[in-house]
Each structure stands twice: as structure tokens, then as C-alpha cells.
Amino acid sequence: MTETVLRVEDVKTHFVTGSGVVKAVDGVSFSVGKGETLGIVGESGCGKSMTALSILRMVPAPAGRIVGGKVFLCGEDLLQKSEKEMQTIRGSRISMILQDPMTSLDPLFTIGDQVAEPIRTHSKTHALNVLARATEMLRLVKIPSPSARMSSYPHQMSGGMRQRIVAAIALACEPELLIADEPTTSLDVTTQAQLIALLKDIQQKLGVAMIVITHDFGVISRICHRVAVMYAGRIVETADVQTVFGAPSHPYTIALLKSLPRFGAGLERLHTIGGQPPDLRDLPKGCSFAPRCAHVMDICTTEFPSQRDIGAGHTVCCHLAGPGRSAQ
């Protein structure tokens, strides 16, 4: 059993707005081990990015607040730490890659400067060592001619290369946990494949725990060991990647997989999930997916299905799975 790097327990993040409280993250629990990749998949607006920001304690204030739960990084509860302590953790122990490589780099500074910045922030290394380390990082993310590239500017690089440089910045201090928020969404398919292969390679080399947030099941299948499916601020199913694709249990997961276009099956209408995701200010009583579920029962609209264990590491929040064993 690999050691757990991150354990998230029942985290709730709410936004207070003029028209009500938006429950962006409403009781999310999962864990990631060393050298393991957890994929968080779900529709836009289901709370994936907000979960990541909650772990980093960068929820947009003052409207957003983490109102409950615990986030354990190697045993330490991040939600109890002061902002100053979080600043030492961010970049050195937890890091994040964002979605848009075109705006993720400061246009006024060289690549070398930007990769060196986290190293300078978090360690007191000598200037020459910092530059050497930055060049090493560029080599790690497979940027050609890294020493020459140290003095280039972001606008001289393509999107794929910029995303790799963002990865270099994120990994410069060898963090224990790397969160990638939709890292491939802005890239073309070939570059996507390169980036995914790179992330996998880096994980094997550095043993970093990864969380990959995406809505692309293709990415999930290639890089993730375990998958958590999110809906309306809650995780509805968690399992290892083979089980999620081969034997999904929650109706939402099943519907999501069914809606993926298939090749070679002849022209057919794409499957959709009827209805709309619920308004996060006014979640329905009981299961949030009940209004759109094909297998809804009476109990689904009255009682919220707690997380239950239905097999090796496979948990689901659904009344259809029977009482099972409570995963609490």
C-alpha cells in the first residue's frame, strides 16, 4: 500500500452571493497516494476546479469560503494553517498546472526567470545553482536546447511548449503533490498526447502524487490509476480506472460513458443526459442526480445516498447499490 500523500475529508466550499449560497463543493472526500494519479472528472461547473483551489486555499474571497472538512497533506491539516505557512507550502509541496498556456506565463520575463522564481522563493540556493536547476527542469520537461531557451520569452514559444514550461515551473521544487487543472483542454490532440506522456514519465521519475482534473475520458484512460466522478459539488463514484470504464455503478457515470462517441459503430445519434445540472444554490433534497436519473426510485428524492463501499476501493453514492457497507 503506497503512503497517502493527500487525504481530503468532507470538504465544503460555499460562495455567498446576493441570490443565495452556492454550494460549489459540498462534502468531497478522496485520497491520493505517492506515485499515484487520481482523475477527477465531471461536467463544467460541477466543482472540480474549486476542489483544487480549496486544497491550495486559494478560493476567491470574500465571497468564497471553505466552511468545513479537513485536508491532510502527509498528515498535516492544511485548513488549519496560516496564510504565511500556506505560502511556504504552495509551490514547494503542492503545485498546480492551469488550463491556458497562453496566459500562464508573464510576457515580460524570460523563461529562465520564471522557472527560477519558485526555486528562489523557496530556497536560499546560490544564484548559479538556481540557473543550473532551472535548466535541469527544462530538460526534464523535454524542451529542446534548454540552455538556449532560458533566455527566450514566452511569446517565442508555441502553446505545447508553454504548457511544458508551466509544468517545469510547477515541478521546480519537486512537490509532493501536483494538481493539473484541465492541462490538455487548450492543446491540439498531438500535443495533448505528448503532454500526457510527459506527465506520466515525470511521475515515474519523481514519484509525485498527481490529481488530474478533466472532462476528457481519453486523458483519464491514459494517465490515471483511480478516478473520482463529480456531480453538483459531490463525488458520486470513486474507483480504479478499469472498474470505472468496465463496470461503472453510478447512473451518472454510466450515462457519461455512454455519451462518448464511438468509432466504427455506424452513424447513430449521440446519447445525451436529459435535463440540466441542478442550481447549486438550491440543491434538491435527496440525490442531486435524481431528476435526471433513468433508474430513479422513491427513496432517491427524499434521502441523500451516503457513500458506500461496493468492492475493492470502489465507492459510490447511490441507493441502487444497496445498503452495502458504509464507507465512513
Partner 1 sequence: MIRIARAFKGIPRIPIVILALVVAAAIFGPWIVPFNPEESDLVNQFIPPFGMEGGSGAHLLGTDHLGRDFLSRLIVGARISLMVGAMAVFFSGFIGTVVAITAGYLGGIVDAILMRMTDAMLSMPYLLIGVALAGILGPGLLNLVIVLGVLGWASYARVIRSEVLKLKTLDFVVVARITGCGLGRILWRHIFPNIVNTLIVLATLHFGTAIILAASLSFLGMGVSPPTPEWGLMVAEGREFIDSAWWLVTLPGLCILLTCLAANLLGDWLRQRLDPKFRERA
Give yes or no for residue 170 binding partner 1 (CB under 8 A): yes
Does an H or E element contain 24, and which? strand 20-33
Residues 162 and 184 sit within 8 Å (Cβ to Cβ): no
Neighbours of 149 (CB within 10 A): 20
Q: Which residue in 25, 46, 78, 169 binds partner 1 (CB under 8 A)?
A: 169
Residue ranges in 189-240 assigned as alpha helix (H)? 189-206, 217-223
Give yes or no for residue 51 binding partner 1 (CB under 8 A): no
Count interface residues toward partner 1 (CB under 8 A). Answer: 28
Give yes or no for residue 259 binding partner 1 (CB under 8 A): no
Give yes or no for residue 108 binding partner 1 (CB under 8 A): yes
**x/- map, 55-84, partner 1, by CB under 8 A:** -x-x---x----------------------
Which residues make Cβ contacts (< 8 Å) with residue 173, sequence separation at least 6? 91, 92, 93, 95, 118, 119, 122, 123
Give yes or no for residue 247 binding partner 1 (CB under 8 A): no
Nearer to partner 1, 125 or 301 (CB): 125
Phi, psi at 253, each rounded to 5°: -60, -45
Region near partner 1 per CB under 8 A, out of 43-51, 54-62, 132-140, 263-271 = 54-62
Nearer to partner 1, 150 or 318 (CB): 150
Give yes or no for residue 167 binding partner 1 (CB under 8 A): no
Nearer to partner 1, 161 or 290 (CB): 161
Give yes or no for residue 90 binding partner 1 (CB under 8 A): yes
Return d(Cα 182, Cα 52) in angstroms, integer: 11
Q: What is the DSSP letter of 145?
A: S
Region near partner 1 per CB under 8 A, out of 68-76, 99-107, 229-237, 246-254 = 99-107
Residues paired with 6 in a beta bridge: 32, 73
Q: Which residue in 39, 112, 118, 233 binds partner 1 (CB under 8 A)?
A: 118
Give yes or no for residue 186 binding partner 1 (CB under 8 A): no
Residue ranges in 35-124 assigned as alpha helix (H)? 48-56, 83-89, 111-122
Using CA atoms, how far residue 192 sits from 12, 98, 127, 163, 257, in Å, is 32, 14, 34, 10, 21
Where along the sequence are the contacts to partner 1 (CB under 8 A)? 56, 58, 62, 87-92, 95-96, 98-100, 103-108, 117-118, 121-122, 155, 166, 169-170
